[in-house]
A and B are shown apart, each in its own frame.
Chain A
């Protein structure tokens, strides 16, 4: 079936090989250990990207079943069970795509403990890809919770001045969610007698069980997304994280929540997913309107973009529970697109932060005068964030709105205000940072982006425009798998 045997294991654990090489280099090398670490990390992530590309090209997108399945009995009925469908394979690709960008973005800005930093990122890559490939409860749980450890380290060691508070908040929220999810998994394994996710999708839980289990998973994934009102950890975490940390956080880690909803909540608890739809819609539209308004008032660039992320994730949660193909396809698309756009926006902040070491909006102004290329790139991603047609940001928004409209016109109506509000905060930010004359003397000699920075942005620009003009590239991949989930859901609920 595949040119590379056990390709999913390869793509999952390949980054660990790179991490091992960095450790080895540290033991052997006398000098330029940092430089070796950077290059090893870079090459490793590029190889992972190449393997993921092979994976995607060999995937049969007309088939809704899990593919490249590896299933070995591990112990006691639990399996080492890997496989990908049309949704998860694209998240694997997104992860592999963003990682080299993160490494390149950290090339100069990270100067202390470079080896450890690169190891943390490679470990994170393994864990995240593991989440998207695992088809067993145990395996999923280990990978899912495991991602937090390197993320904590990245924020804690290379973060900003107030990282203590941020990490503390992150810890509290996530702990609550993961404990509930763990209990739910125990219950499921006990009742269904299996830990295999495909098997659990077939298992019919009773209405009461569904209701409780749904809430337990929801708690964990809602914190991850994050949904209102458990979102306040995210702005703090972003502000404190180094640029590449923010990229991974916004680009990939937030998507674990949405992926979890599609993997667990909808197929395993279909009745509860219908019953709790009003709850999800309510929280989602509040997230969209409320956090957009909060974003409008922020004085820190990163915080503003973090709040904007929460608003955009509102479209995702709504779309997943809309109950039709438009909603869920739109949600998946929105997650992938946001992975590109929010990453690019955080990288844009990184560009000026690297130069000026502040993210205060008031410090900037008139940058277009000195940085025309940067201005063009930042504008492009601002427009993508606003959901301008022709960029990938539009597709996810219009599809999720379409899907939600069928389930609730009220939800669609309130969510559509996000279309107005996103323009308000995003364009105000752009105006305050980029337009006008340069009045701050500190900015008088600021330099435009260099080649390395351009190399970071080019793949993101191409991806955002390409998916905006040819969204079918993604939609064709996700169609069969999403249809299977949606049809299964409709069958189970008699809809």
Chain B
């Protein structure tokens, strides 16, 4: 079988799975639906690894399979196609690996749910859209995948549609992403009129010709490529939850945890990073746009890390952590180190999916409890989960010894920080120093909140025993602003025979519970991801960012003639190489001091509700501000246009106006109504008659 055909089948397999489970899931039953979707996903995964290994160690050349035409109007030409190069091969592996493991994990995690076929159909649909996104050869298919994953995200966040918070979060995710897509669409159109094509292969070679030229937009003349770059980046900001458009991501945690791992950590939210790297030919000639990307990324990395410090919901901590790590990827791309950015995307997928699924295992074991203040001491009861969470935490905090080695995050995160430094010293990016300082500082914060999560969850005194619960009831400061939530499966039907199995769920709310380790079907994916979290760094570092990087990327990422950032990042001073380790250890120690040595101190500090604590705990008040400006604003404007614009002004001057006031009385109106058809027909006939008469008059019979 040719590789082209194999790749095509691999991309479409998840769609087939989604269709089978979606349309026939109820008829064929839960287990067949799960088996079909999961099986097809593992097939895709095998294909992806085949392509990736041939790419990395073989001599595969980039190729594009054209499946069929899509939109063709003049120069606006687009095809359904599958583009294989270094970037898409990397993404294929990331997407299908995490997705197939998440499918498997969901067998256990969703076992109690009563609409499993729907869940698996959505997961597979998401995977298909994501594969379409990463293999796009032009902007239209990219946009299709882009919005397709948004749809899947909407469906999966709102999967438990009975919960009001879930459906609200689903809308928020879709709408905020649409704000990004607003910019993205304008960016695509700008590129189209600038270059007369939306196909990457035609576009990229032409870009240099527009460097330094101007472009008219909204009455101003902008630097052409900077304008296009910024508009496209707005799309990336929405999808990847960057500062200002980040508010949907924490709320997206309303979705089932496997979804958070797949979509809101490992794959979909990295689509923005992927796009920026893919469009490196544009950004390399767009210094202002790159500067904006670097600053936005750095601010997001810092902002999200500060908010992550104070959250009590285990999933929200990891969500802010994701947001922050995406910030790292963006500032890496912004300073010109696209390779480091993609490498962090790659390693992050493994350890972040691991952390989320591990958190899911905790939530599962705690009977849907997500508040870390009600956990503690779980390491003995959930030993495997504890072990994999430790691996994930070591990986994300980038613990490792320069010159010797470490887990996955060590390689990629340090490369980003060193690239920022190199970009600063070589003068390649004006944001270099800022990004570097933020990168170092946020690494410390990352370490603090990550270890805080471990200590609160697995160490300390258990908070779920009977005494602890009673204590909490007496003295507990149960603040209403808490965002910790209970993850509930949809209610079983009254006649559902599985109802007895659900009995223990009730304990979560009002009684002691017995945390338990998760079943093997959940632990196997965790162990598989742990291998990635440990090894993805040292195995692939030479290919992504090391000595073999040019052979690996083979032109998929473009570096301008003055961009030597990645190369120079290998030669930064020793203190730059060691400083991430130092701040990481400091962060870890502070977490240890607060949450283990001085256990209980943070709780008392939180109870004081100091201004800094409130500011961070309430996420810099973004939601509150947006609610006042946008939500209330749109409602007020809508009401105004409707009740004043349409009813008072337009109808008031028009049909209901003074001239017609006399007709408003019911009796008169009824009279008109009874004859209106005839009136109308009469007017029309007179018109036709007039026309005929005139014609006869004009030309003579």
By the criterion CB–CB under 8 Å, are A141 and B687 in contact? yes
B 184-207 contacts with A by CB, 8 A:
185-186, 189-190, 192-193
- In the assembled complex, the Cα of A414 lies from the Cα of B572 at a distance in Å of 47
Q: Known contacts being A145-B687, A189-B694, A193-B699, is A164 close to B670, with CB within 8 Å?
A: yes
Q: Known contacts being A420-B182, A427-B174, is A470 close to B646, with CB within 8 Å?
A: no
Closest chain B residue, CB of each to CB of A189? B695
Dominant secondary structure at the B interface:
helix
- In the assembled complex, the Cα of A405 lies from the Cα of B162 at a distance in Å of 42
- In the assembled complex, the Cα of A476 lies from the Cα of B185 at a distance in Å of 24
Instruction: Encode B207-249 as 1/0 by CB contact (under 8 A) with A.
Output: 0000000001111000000000000000000000000000000
Give chain B residues whose Cβ lies under 8 Å from the Cβ of A405.
186, 189-190, 193
- In the assembled complex, the Cα of A412 lies from the Cα of B681 at a distance in Å of 41
Nearest-neighbour CB distance to chain B for A333, whole angstroms, equals 9
Partner of B638, one of A233, A297, A436: A297
Give chain B residues whose Cβ lies under 8 Å from the Cβ of A383.
151
By the criterion CB–CB under 8 Å, are B182 and A419 in contact? yes
Give chain A residues whose Cβ lies under 8 Å from the Cβ of B144.
389-390, 394
By the criterion CB–CB under 8 Å, are A330 and B162 in contact? no
By the criterion CB–CB under 8 Å, are A294 and B638 in contact? yes
Give chain A residues whose Cβ lies under 8 Å from the Cβ of B70.
469-472
Number of interface residues of A (CB under 8 A): 90
Interface residue stretch chosen among A170-178, A269-277, A335-343: A170-178
By the criterion CB–CB under 8 Å, are B676 and A475 in contact? no
A 390-433 contacts with B by CB, 8 A:
390, 394-395, 398-399, 401-402, 405-406, 409-410, 412-413, 416-417, 419-421, 423-424, 427-428, 431
By the criterion CB–CB under 8 Å, are B175 and A420 in contact? yes
Chain A CB within 8 A of B167 CB: yes
Chain A CB within 8 A of B645 CB: yes
Instruction: Encode A291-310 as 1/0 by CB contact (under 8 A) with B.
Output: 10111111000000000000
By the criterion CB–CB under 8 Å, are A398 and B73 in contact? no
Chain B CB within 8 A of A168 CB: yes
Interface residue stretch chosen among A31-39, A148-156, A345-353: A148-156
Give chain A residues whose Cβ lies under 8 Å from the Cβ of B182.
416-417, 419-420
By the criterion CB–CB under 8 Å, are A146 and B684 in contact? yes
Give chain B residues whose Cβ lies under 8 Å from the Cβ of A416.
182, 185-186
Dominant secondary structure at the A interface:
helix
By the criterion CB–CB under 8 Å, are A293 and B637 in contact? yes
- In the assembled complex, the Cα of A138 lies from the Cα of B185 at a distance in Å of 43
By the criterion CB–CB under 8 Å, are A419 and B181 in contact? yes
Chain A CB within 8 A of B582 CB: no
B 282-321 contacts with A by CB, 8 A:
none
- In the assembled complex, the Cα of A401 lies from the Cα of B73 at a distance in Å of 13
Nearest-neighbour CB distance to chain A for B350, whole angstroms, equals 30
By the criterion CB–CB under 8 Å, are A325 and B178 in contact? no
- In the assembled complex, the Cα of A170 lies from the Cα of B688 at a distance in Å of 20
B 671-701 contacts with A by CB, 8 A:
672-673, 676-677, 679-681, 683-684, 687-688, 690-692, 694-696, 698-701
By the criterion CB–CB under 8 Å, are B687 and A178 in contact? yes
By the criterion CB–CB under 8 Å, are A401 and B695 in contact? no
By the criterion CB–CB under 8 Å, are A175 and B676 in contact? no
Partner of B677, one of A156, A297, A409, A434: A156
Chain B CB within 8 A of A126 CB: no
Partner of B72, one of A195, A298, A472: A472
Give chain A residues whose Cβ lies under 8 Å from the Cβ of B154.
427
By the criterion CB–CB under 8 Å, are A413 and B171 in contact? no
Give chain A residues whose Cβ lies under 8 Å from the Cβ of B168.
431
- In the assembled complex, the Cα of A75 lies from the Cα of B192 at a distance in Å of 51
Closest chain B residue, CB of each to CB of A397? B185
Partner of B650, one of A75, A232, A394: A232
By the criterion CB–CB under 8 Å, are B161 and A434 in contact? yes
Partner of B688, one of A138, A153, A427: A138
By the criterion CB–CB under 8 Å, are B162 and A369 in contact? yes
A 180-195 contacts with B by CB, 8 A:
182, 185-186, 189-190, 193, 195
Nearest-neighbour CB distance to chain A for B356, whole angstroms, equals 25
By the criterion CB–CB under 8 Å, are A232 and B691 in contact? no
Partner of B672, one of A138, A149, A168, A390: A168
Chain B CB within 8 A of A368 CB: yes
Closest chain B residue, CB of each to CB of A307? B642
Closest chain A residue, CB of each to CB of B656? A169
Closest chain A residue, CB of each to CB of B160? A435
Give chain A residues whose Cβ lies under 8 Å from the Cβ of B608.
none
Give chain A residues whose Cβ lies under 8 Å from the Cβ of B365.
none
Give chain A residues whose Cβ lies under 8 Å from the Cβ of B158.
435
Give chain B residues whose Cβ lies under 8 Å from the Cβ of A325.
73-74
Give chain B residues whose Cβ lies under 8 Å from the Cβ of A131.
none
Chain B CB within 8 A of A450 CB: no
- In the assembled complex, the Cα of A165 lies from the Cα of B637 at a distance in Å of 26
- In the assembled complex, the Cα of A377 lies from the Cα of B509 at a distance in Å of 37
- In the assembled complex, the Cα of A149 lies from the Cα of B676 at a distance in Å of 10
- Residues of A bordering B, CB below 8 Å: 75-78, 137-138, 141-142, 145-146, 148-149, 152-153, 156, 164-165, 167-169, 171-173, 175, 178-179, 182, 185-186, 189-190, 193, 195, 229-230, 232-233, 290-291, 293-298, 324-326, 329-330, 366, 368-369, 383, 388-390, 394-395, 398-399, 401-402, 405-406, 409-410, 412-413, 416-417, 419-421, 423-424, 427-428, 431, 434-437, 469-472, 475-476, 479
Please name 6 further chain A to chain B contacts, defined as beta carbons within 8 Å, in addition to the given A329-B73, A406-B193, sorted by A numbering: A167-B676, A173-B654, A291-B641, A431-B167, A435-B164, A436-B162
- Residues of B bordering A, CB below 8 Å: 68-74, 76, 80, 140, 143-144, 146-148, 151, 154, 158, 161-162, 164, 167-168, 170-171, 174-175, 178-179, 181-182, 185-186, 189-190, 192-193, 216-219, 634-635, 637-639, 641-642, 645-646, 650-651, 654-655, 660, 663, 669-670, 672-673, 676-677, 679-681, 683-684, 687-688, 690-692, 694-696, 698-701
15 A-B interface contacts by CB (under 8 A): A76-B700, A78-B695, A153-B677, A164-B673, A175-B683, A230-B654, A232-B646, A232-B655, A390-B148, A416-B182, A421-B634, A472-B71, A475-B71, A475-B73, A476-B72
Closest 10 CB pairs of A and B: A293-B638, A389-B144, A297-B638, A435-B167, A294-B642, A435-B161, A164-B673, A296-B638, A423-B178, A420-B178
